[in-house]
Structure 1
Amino acid sequence: MTNPTDGRTVDAASMSVLLDSSTNTVTPIAMQTANLSGINEEGPDGFLSTLSPTSDIVIGSAILLSTIISVCGNGLVLLVYYRNRRSVNSFDLLTINIAISDLLYPILGHGLHINSSFHHRWLYGTAGCQLYGFLSAFLNYVSIVTLSVLALSRYIKVCSPNYSRFIDKKNTIIAMVCIWTYSLLWALPPLIGWNRYVPEPCGIFCTLDWILREYEGLTYTVSLFIFIFFIPFSVILLCYCAIVHTTNAQRKAVEMSSKKSFIVRYNMQKRLTKVAIAMTSAFLLSWSPYAALSLWAVVIGGQPPISVEAMTAPSVFAKFSTIYNPILIVVFNAAFRENLRAFFSGKIGLPRVRSGKTTTGSTGIQEEGRSLAVSDRRKRTSDVVSDAVASSLGTDTPVKKEKPVASYSRLSEREEDFEMEVLNEPPDSEECEQ
C-alpha cells in the first residue's frame, strides 16, 4: 500500500493508522491488505467507518442501551449513598469511586461513539479521537486500580484485622485521590508523544495504538501492561485467594461459637467480600476479550486474522462493563437493598433491625448501635421518673436501679474497626469444650 502524500510503501497488515506529516492528522488504514467494507478514507467531517451501515446501527443501538442502563444504575447508586452518607464506610467509598467512573465513562464518551455509529463515520476528527481515547483509557484505569485497592482493603479487614484501623474514611479518601492521580498519569502520555490514540479498525471510535512498533510506542505499551494490568490483577488474585483461605479457616470457629455478634460479623464480611469478588469478576470478564486482542497485537504484532466485525465485538462488549456493578450491588449487598427500599418509599435514614437480626453491612451494624443508644436513653429517663415519684411520695427508700445499657453511639465514629473486632477472637473455653 502506498502513501498518496509522499509515495512511501506502508505495510497495511502491521499498521492501523498512518500519520500524515504534512497535515499532522491521523488517517485510518485498513487492518488487512483488502479493504473489507470498501470505504476507509477520511471524509470531510471525520473518518469513514469500515463496517457496514447495518453493523454501525446495531453497534450504536447497543451502546445507547448500555449508556441508558449505566447512567440510571450508577446514578441511582450514587444518589442512594448520598441520601445515607452518614453511614458510608470505606467499602462504600470505594464502591462509590467505581460508580463515579462508570457514570462518567458513558456520559463523556459514549455519546461521541453513538452519534458516529449512526452517521457511519467518526464525526469529531483527530482532536475528538484523542479526547475519546484519553477519556476511555483514564476512566477504565480508575476502575481497574480501584478494584485492586478494594481487594487489598478486604484482605486487611479479613486476614489482618489488627491493621483494620488504618482502613478508615480518611485514609480511603486519600487512596481515592491517589487512584485518580495514578490513572491520570498513565492516560496522559499518549497525548504528549509517548504512544498515541488512534482510530480502531472499525473507524468509529478510538483507542491506544497497540501495534505501534517504534520505541516510544512499545515501551509505553509494555509499561502499561505491567503497572495498569499485571500488578493490579496480581494484587486482586493474591488478596482474594488469601481471603478465601482465611474465611474457610474461620468457618469452623463460627460453627462452634454461640456468640451471635461473632456469627453476624463473619457473615457480613463474607457478603462484602462476595460483592467485591463479583464486581471484579464482571469487570475482568468484560475486558478479557479486548485484552486478549491487545496482547496479541503487542506480543505477535499486527492484527489477528479475523474480520473487522470480529475485532470490533470485544471492544463493544467491554463497554458494557459499566452496567454490571449496580446490579451486583443490589443482588449481594443487603444493606444497600434496605436503603434502596427506603429511598423509593420516601424514607431517609438507615435500615431497621428486623426479627432480632442485624442487617448485613455497616449500615445495619450502625443501626443496631442506634437502637441500643435509644434503649439506653429510655432507661435513664425511666430512672429519673422513678426518682421523681419516690420523692413525691416522701419516701427515703432508694429506688433500685439496674445497670444502664452500654451506649453504642460511638459506633458511628469507629464503625470501620467494629466490623472485624470479634473475628480474630478465639471461642470461649466453654464453647470449645462443647
Structure 2
Amino acid sequence: MTFSLVREKMNANESGLPSPSTAAGWDPFHQPLASVQPWHFRLLAAVMLVVTALSLAENLAVILVTSRFKQLRQPINYMIVNLSVADFLVSLSGGTISFLANLRGYFYMGHWACVLEGFAVTFFGIVALWSLALLAMERYFVVCRPPGSARLGGKHAVLGIAFVWGFSFIWTIPPTMGWSSYTVSRIGTTCEPNWYSRAYTDHTYIITFLTTCFIVPLLVILISYGKLMRKLRKVSDTQGHLGATRKPETQVTRMVVVMILAFLVCWMPYATLSILVTVCPSVQLDPWLAAIPSFFSKTATVYNPIIYVFMNKQFRRCLIQMFNCSSTEMAESQMDPTLDRVMLTQDKRGSEMSTMAAHATVSSRKVGDERRNCYSSAQLAASENKICPM
C-alpha cells in the first residue's frame, strides 16, 4: 500500500483527535491546538531540547568509548552498544522532530513526515525495549548458568541483535501498509500509532502490538531478574551471611531495582494510556495531560546509559581516559591485565553454592590504581562485585 493510501487512512482516523478540536475543524498540520496555551508548547520544546541533547551525547559517548577500547569490545557488550544505537536513533529522529514541532506548536512538516516520525520512534523504541529484555536474559545466563555450560559468544550476541531488529521491524511496518496507521497525537506535535481509532482491524493491531512489544519484554525482564536475585540470595545464605558476599548481593540488588523501576517509570504511563484509549476510544482526556506519558517515555534514552553503563567503574575509567586525550595504546599499556576470578561451585548434593575469589596484584602502584582493566561494561555488578566469571 502506498503512502497516499496511508494518508487517506490517517485523515479517516482523525476522529482519534480531541473531539472539541475536531468539531472545530482543527488541522494539526496547519495550526496549533487552540485549547493548549502557547507556553505549554514552548515548555515541551525546552524539555525535548534538553532530553535530546543529553541522550545524543551520552549514547554517542558509549558508542565511541566501546569502539576505542578493545577490552570493552566483548560479545556480551554487543547488546549494550545496540541499546545505545537504538536510543541514539530515537533521539535523533523523534527528539529532534518533536523539538521542532513544539517550537511551532503543530506538526507543520506534513503527513509524510508524520508517518516517518511515527515509524522511526516506534521502531527504534521497540528495538531498545527488546534490547533491555535480552540484556536481562544475558545476565541471568551468565550468573546462573550451570557449571560447564556453553558461554555466550559473539554468534549468540549477533543472533540476538538480528532478532531484535527483525522482530521490531515486523511489528512496526504494518501501520505504513494499511494495518492501523501512524497519526498525530492529541496535542498535535508528535506522531504515534493510532491508539484512538475505533476500527476493528486497528484494535487487533494495537492489542497485538502492546502484547508482543511491551508485555512480553516486561515479563522477560521481571522473570530474568527475579531468578537472578533468588540465585544470589542462595549463594549469600550458603556463605553464612558473610560480609564478602552480602555486599555484592546488596549492590546487585540495588542495581536490579533501579533497572526495573526505570523501565516501569518511563514506559508504564505511556503503555497504560495506550491501553486505556484502545479499550475506551471515547474517553475524553486533556491533550496536555495525554501528551505527558509520550514525552516522558522518551527520557528513557537518557536513563539507560547512566544505569547500564555509567554506573560501571571500569567503563568510567575508560571514558575518563578517552576525554583526557590519552592515546589508546598508552591507556591500554597502563591498564591492569588481571581480573578478579570467581567460581560458583556446588557441593556433593548440588543444592548449595560457594564463592571463591582469587586476586592478582601488579607492581606498578602509581598508575595501576587509576587505570585498571576496562574489561566488560556489560558485566556491571556481576564483574565488579565478583559474582561470577564472564
The normalised TM-score by structure 1 is 0.70
| SS in structure 2 of the partner of residue 198 of structure 1 | strand
Matched, 1:192 2:177: yes
Does the aligned pair in 2 maintain the 1:335–1:359 contact within 8 Å?
no
> Which is greater in Rg?
1
Taking only aligned residues, the RMSD between alpha carbons, in angstroms, comes to 3.8
Q: AA paired with 2:42?
A: I
Instruction: Measure how far apart 1:171 and its partner are.
Output: 1.0
Please point out which of 134, 142, 150 is paired with 1:165: 150
* 1:22-171 correspondence runs (5 A): 24=8, 26-27=10-11, 28=14, 31-35=17-21, 40-41=26-27, 46=30, 48-50=32-34, 51-162=36-147, 165-171=150-156
Alignment map for 1:395-434 (pairs within 5 Å): none
Which residue pairs with 1:398 in the alignment? none
| SS at structure 2 position matched to 1:165 | coil
Following superposition, the deviation at residue 346 of structure 1 comes to 2.8
Alpha-carbon deviation of 1:242? 0.9
Q: For residues 314 and 129 of structure 1, what CA distance do their matches in structure 2 show? A: 19
Relative to structure 1, is the Cα distance of residues 47 and 223 closer, same or farther in structure 2, using a 3 angstrom cutoff? farther
TM-superposed CA distance for 1:61, in Å, is 1.1
Distance 1:32 1:108, change over 3 A: closer
SS, match of residue 122 in structure 1: coil
The question of 1:174 aligning with 2:159 is answered: yes
The CA distance in 1 between the partners of 2:214 and 2:275, in whole Å, is 11
State the partner residue of 1:282: 262
Alpha carbons of structure 1 residues 182 and 357: separation in structure 2 relative to 1, 3 Å: closer
Aligned to 2:273: 293
* Correspondence for 1:325: 304
Cα distance per residue 1:146-199 (max 9 Å; x no partner): 111111111112222447534122211221111111111111011101111111
* Contact 1:289 1:314 survives alignment (8 Å): yes
Match for 1:250: what amino acid?
V
> Given that residues 47 and 125 in structure 1 are in contact (C-alpha distance below 8 angstroms), is that contact kept between their aligned partners in structure 2?
no
Tell me, yes or no, if the aligned pair for 1:352 and 1:359 is still in contact at 8 Å. no
Amino acid at match of 1:229: F
Distance of 2:6 and 2:225 partners within structure 1: 52
What are structure 1's unaligned runs of at least 5 residues? 1-19, 361-367, 375-410, 426-434
- Tell whether the 8 Å contact from 1:129 to 1:197 is kept in structure 2 after alignment: yes
CA distance in structure 1 between the aligned counterparts of 2:44 and 2:141, rounded to whole angstroms = 42
Q: 2:6·2:178 contact (CA, 8 Å) conserved in 1?
A: no
Return the offset for 1:352: 4.0
C-alpha distance in structure 1 between counterparts of 2:62 and 2:82, whole Å? 11
1:339 aligned onto 2:318: yes
Partner Cα distance (1:138, 1:227) in 2: 13
Map 1:296-307 onto structure 2 (within 5 A).
296-303=276-283, 305-307=284-286
Which consecutive unaligned segments of at least 5 residues does structure 2 have? 343-358, 365-374
- 1:295, CA displacement in angstroms? 0.9
Distance 2:5 2:121 in 1: 26
Secondary structure at 1:323 match in 2:
helix
| Cα 1:63–1:165 shift into 2, 3 Å | same
Amino acid corresponding to residue 124 of structure 2 in structure 1: L
The amino acid of 1:300's aligned partner reads C
Letter in 1 for 2:319: L
Structure 1 residue aligned with 2:215, among 220, 225, 230?
230
Tell me the distance in 2 between the aligned counterparts of 1:22 and 1:324: 34
- Kindly, what percent of the aligned residue pairs are identical? 23
Secondary structure of 1:35's match?
Answer: helix
Preserved CA contact (<8 Å) 1:240 1:277:
no
Task: Say if 1:30 and 1:40, in contact at 8 Å, map to a contact too.
Answer: no
Provide, for residues 350-384 of structure 1, a one-character-per-residue CA deviation record: whole Å limited to 9, x for no partner: 58459x98599xxxxxxx88969x9xxxxxxxxxx
1:310 is matched with 289
* Alpha-carbon displacement from aligned partner over 1:256-311 (angstroms, at most 9, x marks no partner): 789x9xx69x94x98677656534431321111111111101223333x4311111
Provide, for residues 28-57 of structure 1, a one-character-per-residue CA deviation record: whole Å limited to 9, x for no partner. Answer: 4574443399772255xx464453221111
Higher relative contact order (CA 8 A, sep 6+): 2
Provide, for residues 41-93 of structure 1, a one-character-per-residue CA deviation record: whole Å limited to 9, x for no partner. 255xx464453221111111110111111111111111111111343334422
Tell me the distance in 2 between the aligned counterparts of 1:181 and 1:194. Answer: 18
Alpha-carbon offset, residue 102 of structure 1 = 0.7
Give the drift of 1:423: 6.4
For 1:302, what is the secondary structure of its paired residue? coil
When structure 1 is superposed on structure 2, of 237-246 and 27-36 the one drifting more is: 27-36
Amino acid of the residue matched to residue 62 of structure 1?
Answer: V
Q: 1:275 and 1:88 mapped to 2: Cα distance?
A: 22
Q: CA deviation at 1:335?
A: 1.2
Deviates more, 1:224-233 or 1:157-166: 157-166
- Number of aligned residue pairs: give it: 348
Pair 1:359–1:119, CA change in 2 (3 A): farther
